[in-house]
Structure 1
């Protein structure tokens, strides 16, 4: 009976783990991040990103929201330049489910007799990189990466993009080690 109490928790964990965004970041440990107060986009880099203009706009709007929430101001003479880069790939999953009892090579489980079923599903995994570049030195000072499942449904894209950007920029500024 104890097994049934943990079953809903296990199912919730499995479902949650399938829809998460994995986030990483890296930064230059010699940089004082408190000096950065303003930002702008690196137009030459943004123009090279090979996604639709609508998706670019979604990403840039989500970045604007997060940067403003962190106290940054958009500026013509910024401290930081923001660039983005994206990648995607198709994931194919093949699942086989076999059920049934019978005989063949002996009594017991025989996957060739009853209820064999194979399902094939595809999904798109996307990666979003957000680079923060010191505008004066033209050096990368921080990079965040988010990886997760994408959707082709327009009504889901805004939420997915916001989740990606929010989780990536939650790691900025980096927590510097205490001296």
Structure 2
């Protein structure tokens, strides 16, 4: 029952929230050579320790379901960095006053913001080849961030985010 609840929450979050991901990768790289991964020893996600654990668990589960193995002797290393930002409000109401009458004109216009601004979070995933220390794949994700969300909602958000990020790995040629 708990798994069903978590699955429904993930579906709800992915349908309601907007997770945007941009990918970049080295076109000449043979991605079939990569089977094992690990994290940089000095990874600093920029998130709380609990959120970092949630993100790493979601990432490990998703990678394992795709056939990759966490290893002490990895083929590639993963670095994860994040930052929070204030999203711009795009909703405004314009109020204007104009003059009329015989060659007399004037006007005042004011844009009033509607609603509250939201927090956003950018998370960057870098995949670096262990043998030559070169970046070969990168995903930059942006999503809404609610600092007061429950642990269950945070976990579901990270699962949805990682699934969206890993849709582009390995790249389809």
TM interval, short-chain normalised? 0.7 to 0.9
Does 2:147 align with 1:147? no
Unaligned runs of 5+ in 2: 1-13, 101-111
Deviation at 1:128, TM superposition (A): 1.0
Query: How many Å separate the matches in 2 of 1:118 and 1:134?
Result: 46
Query: Hey, what's the Cα distance between the residues in 2 that align with 1:123 and 1:88?
Result: 10
* SS, match of residue 71 in structure 1: coil
Question: 1:169 deviation in Å?
Answer: 0.7
* Matches of 2:119 and 2:165, distance apart in 1: 19
Runs of 5+ in structure 1 lacking a partner? 1-15, 99-103, 107-116
Counterpart residue number, 2:93: 96
* Aligned-partner Cα distance in 1 for 2:139–2:114: 35
Runs of 4+, deviation exceeding 4 Å: none
1:26 is matched with which residue? 24
User: Counterpart in 2 of 1:74?
Assistant: 70
Kept in 2, the 8 Å contact 1:83–1:130? The answer is yes
Bigger Rg, which one: 1
CA offset at residue 49 of structure 1? 2.8
Q: CA RMSD in A?
A: 3.0
TM-score by length of 1: 0.72
Match of 1:162 in 2: 159
Distance 2:121 2:68 in 1: 27
Report the equivalent of 1:123.
Answer: 118
TM-score (norm 2): 0.75
Equivalent residues, number: 150
Deviation string, structure 1 residues 35-74 (Cα, Å, up to 9, x no partner):
0001111121x1x332111111111111101110110111
